[in-house]
């Protein structure tokens, strides 16, 4: 669907440019945009390498494990469906902590591993459980303490204060996380979304037989 959206935007742009007689400007703008994109990408290589190195040191120093232990009491109440000693808990905590530190490369395999472990608890393999939906929400709308990618982009574009975004990023990502988690918890309680809940079906089965 997204491919059709982009195709539609390109076609509309050419049609409008044809009517206005500015088709050459589109070509010039496309070439200039491509040059700018390559320039920014090259500048980002060194900056991202530096940040990833710093974050890797933090990971090896145990900062991710420390954050995972700090947020465990909160996630324990959020994911009540998951047994306390289940392997999914560890992967989930490490994934969330890595996202908090802006370690996207390290967070991705941990997130995939957590989803695989959560799927082992899923009795209906074609329907996501509440825990899977909630974890995906936390992964997508994650609190970001160090927005390394945005800082790198601001540095590459010669921002006068590339680190000024840290405060607003923390506020925005925290707000997104609170809203996302609240929506996931509230929607998970609605009959429309609970009817396919395998745990609810299992619990209601004996009552249906009576």
pLDDT 10s digit of each residue in the chain, 210 long?
Answer: 778 898 898 889 888 888 888 878 877 888 888 887 787 677 667 666 766 676 667 667 776 677 667 777 777 778 888 887 787 887 788 788 778 877 666 677 778 888 888 898 888 877 888 889 889 898 888 888 878 777 877 887 788 888 888 899 899 999 999 999 899 888 888 777 665 555 554 444 444 444
CA-CA distances (angstroms) from residue 148 to 37, 156, 177? 19, 12, 18
- Mention every residue, 6+ apart, whose C-beta is less than 8 A from residue 178: none
Instruction: Give the CA-trace dihedral at 6, 10, 11, 17, to 10 degrees.
Output: 160
pTM of the predicted structure, to 2 decimals: 0.60
| Annotated domain spans of the chain | 28-196
**pLDDT given at position 210:** 44
Judge contact between 201 and 132, C-beta under 8 A: no
Q: Give me the half-sphere count of Cα atoms (radius 13 Å) on the Cβ side of residue 171.
A: 5
Q: Is the four-CA dihedral 199, 203, 206, 208 of positive or negative sign?
A: negative
**pLDDT given at position 161:** 87
């Amino acid at each position: 669907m997204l491919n059709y959206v982009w195709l539609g935007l390109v076609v509309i742009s050419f049609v409008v440019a044809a009517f206005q007689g500015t088709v050459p400007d589109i070509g010039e703008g496309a070439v200039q945009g491509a040059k700018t994109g390559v320039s920014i990408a090259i500048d980002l290589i060194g900056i991202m390498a530096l940040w990833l190195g710093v974050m890797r040191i933090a990971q090896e120093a145990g900062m991710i494990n420390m954050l995972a232990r700090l947020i465990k009491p909160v996630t324990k109440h959020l994911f009540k469906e998951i047994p306390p000693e289940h392997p999914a808990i560890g992967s989930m905590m490490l994934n969330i902590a890595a996202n908090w530190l802006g370690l996207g490369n390290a967070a991705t395999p941990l997130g995939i591993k957590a989803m695989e472990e959560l799927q082992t608890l899923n009795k209906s393999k074609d329907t996501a459980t509440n825990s899977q939906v909630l974890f995906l929400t936390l992964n997508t709308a994650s609190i970001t303490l160090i927005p390394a990618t945005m800082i790198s982009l601001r540095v590459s574009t010669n921002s006068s204060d590339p680190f000024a975004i840290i405060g607003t990023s923390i506020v925005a990502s925290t707000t997104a996380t609170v809203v996302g988690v609240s929506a996931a918890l509230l929607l998970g309680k609605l009959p429309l979304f609970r009817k396919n809940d395998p745990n609810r079906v299992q619990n209601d089965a004996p009552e249906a037989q009576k």
